[in-house]
Structure 1
């Protein structure tokens, strides 16, 4: 698997280099959370472009983001050799709360990654750079991301790697062990973890997704049960809109 990860690293690094060049950009900006996905992307972008051409934005929320996550994000940026900037988002969140009486928890939860997306693009525009996304294949397939939030980016370096494969790549790249071993979390509220929110472990999710992608539904049901497979298929179906461009009404037949 080590040799396989070397090939994966090489292909992604070449892709990043070519993509940034084709965009006539001078580098990339990415959000660095202290988690394994953004850590891998930070390391890969640094290898592709040089650390001086990569800016990691660390965007904590006061009272929600754990101090250890900020420390891990800083450590990742330092070890990857990239520049970083800490931008606290609580004041921005409060501005939104002040103009709306919305009390839906999901609205506030989705607002946080959308604020971070705006900050990523602000700095990217200022620096003539593009935004590197940190989403992995598992999350993209089941829609475990915020539309126009963490899903808002210009390209996805690890978008074809399942979460379990990201962990293997992280070990290969030399991502700090504490980052690799911590429970994955989007940091949307205190104590939140990805697996608890989805109701399924990444190990099982990835195994089911691989079967689905190969068209091996019956084998998936045999291995993991109909309820688990139906749950994953439902997640894929309900999140289809997140993976598509906005729909437009077809009118050409009436006008042309």
Structure 2
């Protein structure tokens, strides 16, 4: 496990060197993935790393966990509350759609959630420009394979150090690094709306996705879900499509 941590830290340091930036930053949500990344970037750039907390109608418990992660990692931190910004932007969009009688009420929850994720991405890049840092993402192998991230939201980053680590691998890293137990053991959730959990939204569990990625046998219905998610979200893992030159 120490070798894995050392390799990830060395890789992050190499990205700093190759791009000529000064350091790294990550959005800290109070979840296990961002907790691991916060600790990794602190090791990679001890004097030039930043944890960013971005509440947006967030569960107060998530903010408490995020603060514990920040304190444990001993990383410099900043909080940018996006609640008011989100309210103004989302209500303005809804009003325009209502006025034109074009609003699709069935899609408003997901539109709301994706806007929050994209506002956070914009915030991270604004801060990155100020500090001359790279934005480090938190997607693990299960999330990347199934496309369980918002395009140009939490998927809009410069680096994805955990992309080859299963959820189980991330949990093992978190335990090794010493991430607070309440963060390690909490039910994974993007915190996009009340009661939302990752596994309910995906329709399968991280444990089963991990088994699938390792080539192990899993129930047929779960295999169908995972492969459908992977196919449907292929565009998220690709650059913007362009026609052939003519």
Give the TM-score category using the shorter length: over 0.9
- For the 8 Å contact 1:46–1:80, the answer to whether it is kept is yes
Query: Does 2:50 correspond to 1:55?
Result: yes
2:242 to 244, 248, 251: 248
1:165 match: 169
2:196 match: 192
2:70 match: 77
Q: How far, CA to CA, are the matches of 1:200 and 1:225 in structure 2? A: 10
> What is the deviation of 1:159?
1.2
Q: What is the total number of aligned residue pairs between the two structures?
A: 235
State how 1:142-153 maps to structure 2 within 5 Å. 142-153=146-157
1:18 match: 14
Task: Please give the per-residue CA displacement for 1:210-243, whole angstroms capped at 9, x wherever unaligned.
Answer: 21xxxxxxxx5xx323222111111110010000
- For the 8 Å contact 1:58–1:73, the answer to whether it is kept is yes
Query: Does 2:127 correspond to 1:123?
Result: yes
2:219 match: 225
Query: Does 2:232 correspond to 1:238?
Result: yes
State how 1:27-42 maps to structure 2 within 5 Å. 27-42=23-38
Query: Tell me, which stretches of 5 or more residues in structure 1 are unaligned?
Result: 212-219
Normalising by structure 1, we get a TM-score of 0.89
> What is the deviation of 1:31?
0.2
Q: How far, CA to CA, are the matches of 1:228 and 1:128 in structure 2? A: 43
1:99 to 67, 88, 92: 92
Q: What CA RMSD, in Å, does the superposition of the two structures yield over aligned residues? A: 1.1
> What is the deviation of 1:251?
2.7
Normalising by structure 2, we get a TM-score of 0.92
